[in-house]
Amino acid sequence: MLGQVAAGLPILANGENLADLLVDPAFAHRDDIFALQVRGDSMSGDGVLDGDYVVVVPEQPRNGDMVVVAMRGHGDADEYEATVKHLRRNGDSIRLLSSHPAYPDIVLRSSDEAIIQGVVIGVVRWIGRRH
Protein backbone atom coordinates (compact mmCIF):
# COMPACT_ATOMS: atom_id res chain seq x y z
CA MET A 1 0.00 0.00 0.00
CA LEU A 2 1.43 3.36 -0.98
CA GLY A 3 -0.66 5.73 1.11
CA GLN A 4 -4.08 7.34 1.13
CA VAL A 5 -6.33 8.84 -1.52
CA ALA A 6 -9.27 11.16 -1.07
CA ALA A 7 -12.80 10.26 -1.99
CA GLY A 8 -14.06 13.77 -1.51
CA LEU A 9 -11.82 16.79 -1.69
CA PRO A 10 -8.27 15.91 -2.80
CA ILE A 11 -5.70 15.21 -0.08
CA LEU A 12 -1.94 15.56 -0.07
CA ALA A 13 -0.27 12.69 -1.94
CA ASN A 14 3.17 12.54 -0.40
CA GLY A 15 3.77 8.82 0.16
CA GLU A 16 3.55 8.96 3.95
CA ASN A 17 2.00 6.17 6.02
CA LEU A 18 3.25 3.36 3.82
CA ALA A 19 1.93 -0.06 4.78
CA ASP A 20 1.67 -3.56 3.38
CA LEU A 21 -1.53 -4.88 1.90
CA LEU A 22 -1.61 -8.49 0.79
CA VAL A 23 -3.70 -9.07 -2.32
CA ASP A 24 -4.48 -12.47 -3.80
CA PRO A 25 -1.96 -13.13 -6.62
CA ALA A 26 -4.87 -14.02 -8.91
CA PHE A 27 -5.81 -10.33 -8.83
CA ALA A 28 -2.35 -8.80 -8.49
CA HIS A 29 -0.87 -10.38 -11.60
CA ARG A 30 1.48 -7.46 -12.28
CA ASP A 31 4.43 -6.08 -10.35
CA ASP A 32 3.27 -2.47 -10.67
CA ILE A 33 -0.12 -2.77 -8.96
CA PHE A 34 -0.53 -0.66 -5.83
CA ALA A 35 -3.21 0.08 -3.25
CA LEU A 36 -4.34 3.28 -1.56
CA GLN A 37 -6.56 3.66 1.47
CA VAL A 38 -9.66 5.74 0.77
CA ARG A 39 -10.47 8.73 2.95
CA GLY A 40 -13.93 10.18 2.38
CA ASP A 41 -17.26 9.15 0.90
CA SER A 42 -17.49 10.74 -2.55
CA MET A 43 -17.41 7.31 -4.23
CA SER A 44 -19.91 5.64 -1.89
CA GLY A 45 -22.43 5.39 -4.73
CA ASP A 46 -20.06 2.83 -6.25
CA GLY A 47 -19.62 1.00 -2.95
CA VAL A 48 -16.20 2.52 -2.22
CA LEU A 49 -16.35 3.57 1.43
CA ASP A 50 -14.12 5.50 3.81
CA GLY A 51 -11.37 3.15 5.02
CA ASP A 52 -11.55 0.80 2.02
CA TYR A 53 -8.49 0.16 -0.12
CA VAL A 54 -8.58 0.72 -3.86
CA VAL A 55 -6.30 -1.52 -5.91
CA VAL A 56 -4.83 0.42 -8.83
CA VAL A 57 -3.04 -0.60 -12.00
CA PRO A 58 -1.00 2.14 -13.72
CA GLU A 59 -2.46 2.16 -17.21
CA GLN A 60 -4.31 4.55 -19.48
CA PRO A 61 -8.00 4.80 -18.56
CA ARG A 62 -11.05 4.76 -20.78
CA ASN A 63 -13.97 7.14 -20.39
CA GLY A 64 -15.97 6.20 -17.31
CA ASP A 65 -13.16 4.29 -15.58
CA MET A 66 -12.60 4.90 -11.88
CA VAL A 67 -9.14 6.44 -11.62
CA VAL A 68 -6.66 7.88 -9.15
CA VAL A 69 -5.49 11.34 -10.18
CA ALA A 70 -2.72 13.42 -8.62
CA MET A 71 -3.09 17.17 -9.10
CA ARG A 72 -0.78 20.05 -8.26
CA GLY A 73 -1.68 21.23 -4.76
CA HIS A 74 -2.56 24.74 -3.68
CA GLY A 75 0.33 25.04 -1.24
CA ASP A 76 3.92 23.98 -1.84
CA ALA A 77 4.80 23.86 -5.55
CA ASP A 78 6.18 20.32 -5.21
CA GLU A 79 3.11 18.87 -3.50
CA TYR A 80 0.37 16.95 -5.24
CA GLU A 81 -3.12 16.13 -4.04
CA ALA A 82 -4.72 12.84 -5.01
CA THR A 83 -8.32 11.81 -5.45
CA VAL A 84 -10.30 8.83 -6.72
CA LYS A 85 -13.10 9.61 -9.19
CA HIS A 86 -14.66 8.52 -12.48
CA LEU A 87 -12.93 10.00 -15.51
CA ARG A 88 -14.85 11.69 -18.32
CA ARG A 89 -12.91 13.24 -21.20
CA ASN A 90 -14.55 16.20 -22.89
CA GLY A 91 -12.53 17.81 -25.66
CA ASP A 92 -9.39 19.32 -24.14
CA SER A 93 -10.61 18.96 -20.56
CA ILE A 94 -11.09 16.11 -18.13
CA ARG A 95 -13.99 15.95 -15.72
CA LEU A 96 -13.59 13.94 -12.51
CA LEU A 97 -16.97 12.71 -11.29
CA SER A 98 -18.00 11.58 -7.83
CA SER A 99 -20.69 8.96 -7.33
CA HIS A 100 -22.09 10.86 -4.33
CA PRO A 101 -24.30 13.84 -5.28
CA ALA A 102 -22.93 16.07 -2.50
CA TYR A 103 -19.57 16.42 -4.27
CA PRO A 104 -19.08 18.70 -7.27
CA ASP A 105 -17.20 17.61 -10.37
CA ILE A 106 -13.55 18.57 -10.69
CA VAL A 107 -12.69 19.98 -14.11
CA LEU A 108 -9.09 19.75 -15.26
CA ARG A 109 -7.90 21.68 -18.29
CA SER A 110 -4.84 20.87 -20.39
CA SER A 111 -2.96 23.65 -18.57
CA ASP A 112 -3.57 22.03 -15.16
CA GLU A 113 -0.80 19.87 -13.76
CA ALA A 114 -2.46 16.53 -13.21
CA ILE A 115 -1.24 12.96 -13.54
CA ILE A 116 -3.54 9.99 -13.92
CA GLN A 117 -1.91 7.46 -11.60
CA GLY A 118 -3.95 4.52 -12.82
CA VAL A 119 -7.25 2.68 -13.06
CA VAL A 120 -9.01 1.21 -10.03
CA ILE A 121 -9.42 -2.53 -10.60
CA GLY A 122 -10.63 -3.58 -7.18
CA VAL A 123 -11.73 -2.61 -3.70
CA VAL A 124 -10.64 -4.36 -0.50
CA ARG A 125 -12.66 -4.03 2.69
CA TRP A 126 -12.22 -5.70 6.04
CA ILE A 127 -15.31 -6.36 8.11
CA GLY A 128 -14.76 -6.37 11.84
CA ARG A 129 -11.44 -6.32 13.65
CA ARG A 130 -8.14 -6.98 11.94
CA HIS A 131 -5.25 -8.46 13.88
Enzyme catalytic residues: 42, 85
User: 55 with 123: CB under 8 angstroms?
Assistant: yes
SS3 content of the chain, % helix, strand, coil (to 5): 0, 40, 55
Count other Cβ atoms within 10 Å, centred on residue 84: 28
